[in-house]
Amino acid sequence: MKFYRYLYIGDTIKNPSKIKWKLKHHAGVQAYVISIAAGDDQLEIFHSAYLKQKYFRKHSPIVVGIASNYDEAVQIVMKITQECLERTGNCNLKEYLKEKVRMKSISDGVNV
SS3 36: strand
Please, are residues 38 and 2 in contact by the beta-carbon 8 Å criterion?
Answer: no
CA distance 55 to 4: 20
4-55: per-residue pLDDT in tens? 999 999 999 999 999 999 988 888 789 999 999 988 889 999 999 888 888 8
Please answer whether residues 62 and 35 qualify as being in contact, where contact means their C-beta atoms are separated by less than 8 angstroms: yes
Return the beta strands (E) in 1-112 as ranges: 2-9, 32-36, 43-47, 62-67
Structure confidence at residue 56 as a pLDDT band (50, 70, 90): confident
Confidence label for 109 from pLDDT (cuts 50, 70 and 90): low
Least Cα distance to 11 among 76, 62, 59 occurs for 76
Averaged over 89-100, what is the pLDDT?
90
